[in-house]
Structure 1
Amino acid sequence: MFQPLQGLTVVSLAPNVPGPLAAASLRDAGARVVKVEGPAGDPLAQMSPEWYAELHRGIEVRAIDLKTDAGRAELDTLLAGADLLLTSSRPGALARLGLSPERLTRDFPRLCRVTIVGDTRDPEAAGHDLTYQAEAGLIDPAQPAMPRTLVADLTGSREAYAAALGLLLGRERGHAERERVVGLGDAARFAAAPYRVGLTAPGGLLSGAYDNYRLYATADGWVAAAPLEPHFAARWSEALGEDAAAALRTRPTAHWEALAAERDLPLAALAGE
């Protein structure tokens, strides 16, 4: 399989979730990835050992104390042979480690840099996925519940991956740009766009207010149904009649999954029931 980043080296200083996810994407695209971890390691290894192992498969992990002169010298050696540096610390913290944009530009002019921060509006402000989702309106204040996934972290990791590809391609084409900053708060606001424009807000077309895009109770569980397009809607009405909600409650989920497969309808059981 063609791997567009084969022959390139990435050095990552980014722990937790967004950095390892972006690094794993770069690895999968063929890059050699060297992950630098401090003496305490990556918190993700304690929070989710299985996921940590999955994301770091094929990645060289080195324990280096960047608060020491020897550690910073070892990192400089790595950077001298690298094509991309991935970080997820606040700018002030990076500067204290001798990794300011000015110094990196001066000493490693070919090195591309993807800098993941909390929010580009204030890169020094503290935050995490939960706070970014809350600020972006992704948590319902009327019925607050913890998110089932890390929207800002996952979306931010893909933004970081895209930024890396853009920088490396631009460098190969002779462009001078060497750094792009990715904000997790920005990623949460990006993910919240359908709500912001009313598409998934209460009463919106994709909010569950309409029969052709909503959750339905069955005789033994729940299904998600999305017969939006006219050809799907016509088949949906033909199969379930005028009162789809009442019809779906009469049979178990497995029955409706089989019917959906037979009639080519977009319907799925809620996973984890």
Structure 2
Amino acid sequence: MTRQTQSSIKASTTIAPATEANLGIKALKGVRVLSLALNLPGPAALQRLRTMGANCTKLEPPGVGDPMAHYNTQAYGELHEGIKVLTADLKAPEGQRALHKALAKTDILLTSFRPAALKRLGLGWKELHKDYPGLSMVRVVGAPGPEADLAGHDLTYMAEAGLVPSLALPPTLYADMAGSLLASEAALQVMLRRQSSGKGSEMEVALSEAAQWLGLPRRWGMTQPKGVVGGAHAGYQVYACIKGRVAVAALEPHFAQRLCEAAGLRAGAHLKMTSPATRKALESFFAGKSRREVDALAKAADLPVHTLPPGR
């Protein structure tokens, strides 16, 4: 096992300091995490664990390493800040020896292999638990249970959850990032279990289930076109303004009233926030305002409003 040469490209910004500041107490201080997970969900989870105080090491295959290092150097750099990255060929005897030497000193093993691949590598839970009783394992998979060996990716899990309503791609990798949060949550759970039982345990985190969790508001109808936060409420919309857009989230009655007053509309029985007329009036109001004017108005009236550049 040798230290891998790190990318010389430094990210212009890093998520770690702000995240650490928000987390405060290091809940996983002293916990040793070993990750075999590549691409986005695993490294994102590992970075979360590091910010919670864990001592994090990652094994990458020789040669190509983590594909993310090639397709997005900024993401790779930020997610591996403070992570000890080593190389090991897990298909070779030498790599297996290095892996098991590391496992003997590990509290949590994080993986993103399909179950069949784990079995081929001799990393099935029964074997691991027998050899390392105190070791816990968090497995990130695409789909739960028997479907974990099926091919899939963020986009397919999002589509299954009803979160791809058009031909446009989702603006971010929701299933991957939500899965990383569930994986870091699972790491906390297995450590709590070990505190009470003295033994390690295993948890599976499925990206498809993470997407389903994110999709619950849509399934409930909240974000459907007729839902209050899906387009039916005039105070919860994105409006065009001069050289930009306005994200308006005046959902609660006091915010809605304040918004209407700022727009010169008299709130009353005749003015309903679900009325097309109200939406049209607010649309006309914002269409005549610049982003600077809207920002000033939001600050003066204490409105939950955020201006944006024109859509692309």
Question: What's the TM-score once normalised by structure 2's chain length?
Answer: 0.84
Provide the rounded CA distance (Å) in 1 between the counterparts of 2:283 and 2:162. 29
Please list the CA deviations of residues 153-205 of structure 1 after superposition, one character each: whole Å capped at 9, or x if unmatched: 00000000000001101101226560000000110111110100100012111
- 1:194-213 equivalences under 5 Å are 194-213=217-236
Please list the CA deviations of residues 59-93 of structure 1 after superposition, one character each: whole Å capped at 9, or x if unmatched: 11011000011101110010001000000010000
Paired residue for 2:209? 186
Give the conservation status (yes or no) of the 8 Å contact 2:243–2:309. Answer: no
Paired residue for 1:145? 168
Whichever residue aligns with residue 164 of structure 2, its letter is: I
Paired residue for 1:8? 31
Please list the CA deviations of residues 91-119 of structure 1 after superposition, one character each: whole Å capped at 9, or x if unmatched: 00001001011111110110010000001
Provide the rounded CA distance (Å) in 1 between the counterparts of 2:143 and 2:72. 25
Give the conservation status (yes or no) of the 8 Å contact 1:208–1:215. Answer: no
3-state SS of 1:208 partner: helix
Whichever residue aligns with residue 42 of structure 1, its letter is: D
3-state SS of 1:173 partner: helix
Whichever residue aligns with residue 254 of structure 2, its letter is: H
Provide the rounded CA distance (Å) in 1 between the counterparts of 2:197 and 2:105. 19
Provide the rounded CA distance (Å) in 2 between the counterparts of 1:25 and 1:135. 27
Q: Which runs of 5+ in 2 are unaligned?
A: 1-23, 266-280
Shift of 1:251: 1.3
With 151-160 and 43-52 compared, the bigger mean Cα shift is at 43-52
Please list the CA deviations of residues 200-233 of structure 1 after superposition, one character each: whole Å capped at 9, or x if unmatched: 0121111122201111111222111011111111
Whichever residue aligns with residue 49 of structure 1, its letter is: T
1:132 equivalent to 2:170? Answer no
Residue of 202, 210, 218 corresponding to 2:241: 218
> What is the Cα-based RMSD across aligned positions, in Å?
1.3
Paired residue for 2:122? 98
Paired residue for 1:46? 70
- 1:38-187 equivalences under 5 Å are 38-39=61-62, 40-121=64-145, 122-140=147-165, 143-174=166-197, 176=199, 178-187=201-210
Provide the rounded CA distance (Å) in 1 between the counterparts of 2:310 and 2:88. 41
Provide the rounded CA distance (Å) in 2 between the counterparts of 1:74 and 1:169. 28
Provide the rounded CA distance (Å) in 2 between the counterparts of 1:218 and 1:191. 30
1:266 equivalent to 2:291? Answer no
3-state SS of 1:126 partner: coil
Provide the rounded CA distance (Å) in 1 between the counterparts of 2:185 and 2:260. 42
Whichever residue aligns with residue 75 of structure 1, its letter is: L
Q: Which runs of 5+ in 1 are unaligned?
A: none
Structure 1 residues 9, 202: closer, same or farther in 2, change over 3 A?
same
Residue of 282, 292, 309 corresponding to 1:244: 282
Provide the rounded CA distance (Å) in 2 between the counterparts of 1:175 and 1:271. 54
3-state SS of 2:217 partner: helix
Provide the rounded CA distance (Å) in 1 between the counterparts of 2:105 and 2:309. 46
Whichever residue aligns with residue 154 of structure 1, its letter is: M
Structure 1 residues 226, 168: closer, same or farther in 2, change over 3 A?
same
Provide the rounded CA distance (Å) in 2 between the counterparts of 1:221 and 1:272. 4
Question: What's the TM-score once normalised by structure 1's chain length?
Answer: 0.96
Shift of 1:270: 2.5
Give the conservation status (yes or no) of the 8 Å contact 2:247–2:307. Answer: yes
Paired residue for 2:294? 256
Shift of 1:246: 0.9
Shift of 1:271: 5.5
Provide the rounded CA distance (Å) in 2 between the counterparts of 1:271 and 1:128. 30
Matched-pair identity in %: 44
Provide the rounded CA distance (Å) in 2 between the counterparts of 1:271 and 1:222. 6
Provide the rounded CA distance (Å) in 1 between the counterparts of 2:61 and 2:309. 38
Provide the rounded CA distance (Å) in 1 between the counterparts of 2:33 and 2:40. 17
Provide the rounded CA distance (Å) in 1 between the counterparts of 2:126 and 2:133. 10
